[in-house]
Structure 1
Amino acid sequence: MMEIHVEGLCKAYGGRPVLTGLSAVFRPGITCVAAPSGTGKTTLLRLLLGLERPDGGIIRGAGCRWAAVFQEDRLLENLSAAGNLRFALGEVPGEAGELLARLGLDPSDSRPVRAWSGGMRRRLALARALLVPAEALALDEPFTGLDGENRARCVALIRERGGGRPVLLATHDLTGLEDAPVVRLGEK
């Protein structure tokens, strides 16, 4: 069973501390990282993904293959959904059409994603992350721009496909995730 451990994790930008002495264990399943804006949710995910280095502390177990949804969708705007999936995955797995449909997206939609709504793009970014063969997931505000119905679809698929791997989900809103463990940042 894979676990990710952080001990005494610290990070500051321009002398302003963002994370100070964070210790936590992230086990398989969803763990919500909850905090007000500007208190380290994205920073924690970036540290775990290896995109930034901590100023102090220890991270163990994060050197695995990650899939991520960033705050920005990071899609190729001139490609269709299938083109975006092909770019990220090499070839589109057979399960992709069903996953897109379950997220309320038309798998045969050949329009470039620049013509899609923000919520549709957000769901495609999530589908891409869920389809990547990865040992852990980092999801930074994955429900931005989604209504209640689409949020519920996304939560259900994250639960289902998260399986036996750590899923770190940074969010302001715990709706539908009330039973998940929560790491709260920025609280004394």
Structure 2
Amino acid sequence: MKLVLIGARKDGQAQLVLDLLSINGSHEVVAFLDETPLLWNTMVHNIPVLGPPAAIDKAVAIGATAGLVSIGSGAARERLGAPIVAAGLELVTLVHPRAYVAPSATLGRGVFVGPMAVVGTGAVIEDSVLVGPTAFVSHHVRIGACSSVSGHASVGGRSRVGCRAFLGLGAIILPGITVGDDAVVGAGSVVTHDVSPGATVAGVPARVLKR
């Protein structure tokens, strides 16, 4: 399957996607699209950057049949996934061969699951979620669309994480906790109580820094 990636930053999520594809060989990346004008009509990792996301028809013209937003920001993944769907392309989900996804877990469209990550029994990962390397999503957890679970973060069983939430490196969400839409959990934090939508929390135990 020929794939177009939205997001061409050399030191970002795009490199993680390319590394995964170099291992499993499931897709051929034929083009990048990016919002940075300086990248247009250049080559990144020997792949052409055809223009902004609105130029997705150019990718279709050279054979792209699927796409993925290769950007770390959940809000950007939400916004930039729309051109892929509008162009009639499949929004692909990629799982690293060294990750574990339980047979009873459900993955939405446009999900990325990194190396050594675990998605447990009965977990639901909604569209365009990023599950970073070594992240642990326990049993019957639900992760809302366009959220990010950073590397080494752990989400305890039966927890709920809203849409566009960000869990920093090594953050721990204790079982049964709800993290609201657009919330941010700082790196290394231990969350022992529910987090309100839009709040920023950090620390051990996590305390509210911004509501």
Q: Looking at both structures, which has the greater relative contact order when contacts are Cα pairs under 8 Å and sequence separation is at least 6?
A: 1
Q: State if a TM-score over 0.5 links the two structures.
A: no
Please identify which structure carries the higher helix content.
1
TM-score, with length taken from structure 1: 0.23
Q: Structure 2 length as normaliser, TM-score?
A: 0.22
